[in-house]
């Protein structure tokens, strides 16, 4: 096994959106992939199967994902290791600031990261997000508010958004809250 993979392991969890493959590098979560996801790495990149599903970060990630899908958790607190370009990491950091149950357009997200003409590049970075659900790329929508461009499939994007909206039933969180300010 190449040295870079020697410190990687993975665990597959069942979820309402199908099997989720969690990948850890050292003690940090470096991947969360859905079955048949676009840009999903080859299985050999995931490293060895986790010897103990309760070890860091798998135990905490499994607990938090279970709580999320039960509607009891609205934000994740896990050590993350995101590999990507500086621009991709800026986009992924911005995704983590989109409130639970909220959405933002690709154009608005580009403006919020200081690159107002880069909505297409934001979409490409969003599609390459290595940690789905936890880094909520499903909360980015088209300029008309429609569902477009989700690597896990539009049916899963709809499920995740409906799940969050349902959890927040009765609140005004279905769109980006007025005055949302993402700061860096």
Known catalytic residues? 137
Residues across the chain? 184
Closest-CA residue to 11 (of 52, 60, 71, 66): 52
| Spatial distance between the Cα atoms of 64 and 76, rounded to a whole number of angstroms | 7
What is the layout of strands, in order, in the sheet containing 8-13?
28-34, 20-25, 8-13, 48-49
Peptide bond into 57 cis (omega under 30): yes
- For 51-142, where are the alpha helices, taking DSSP H only? 58-69, 86-95, 106-112, 119-127
Coil vs helix vs strand at 81: coil
Instruction: Specify the DSSP class assigned to residue 139.
Output: G
């Amino acid at each position: 096994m190449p040295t870079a993979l020697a410190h990687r392991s993975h665990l597959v969890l069942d979820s309402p959106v199908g099997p989720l493959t969690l990948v850890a590098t050292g003690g940090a979560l470096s991947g969360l992939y859905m079955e048949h996801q676009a840009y999903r790495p080859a299985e050999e990149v995931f490293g060895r199967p986790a010897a103990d599903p309760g070890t860091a970060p798998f135990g905490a990630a499994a607990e938090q994902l279970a709580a999320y899908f039960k509607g009891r958790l609205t934000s994740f607190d896990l050590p993350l290791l995101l590999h990507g370009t500086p621009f991709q990491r800026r986009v992924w950091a911005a995704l983590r600031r989109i409130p639970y149950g909220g959405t933002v357009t690709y154009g608005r997200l580009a403006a919020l990261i200081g690159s107002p003409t880069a909505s297409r590049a934001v979409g490409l970075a969003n599609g390459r997000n290595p940690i789905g659900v936890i880094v909520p790329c499903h909360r980015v929508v088209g300029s008309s508010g429609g569902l477009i461009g989700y690597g896990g499939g539009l049916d899963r994007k709809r499920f995740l958004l409906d799940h969050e909206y349902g959890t927040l039933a009765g609140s005004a969180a279905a769109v980006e809250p007025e005055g949302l300010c993402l700061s860096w």
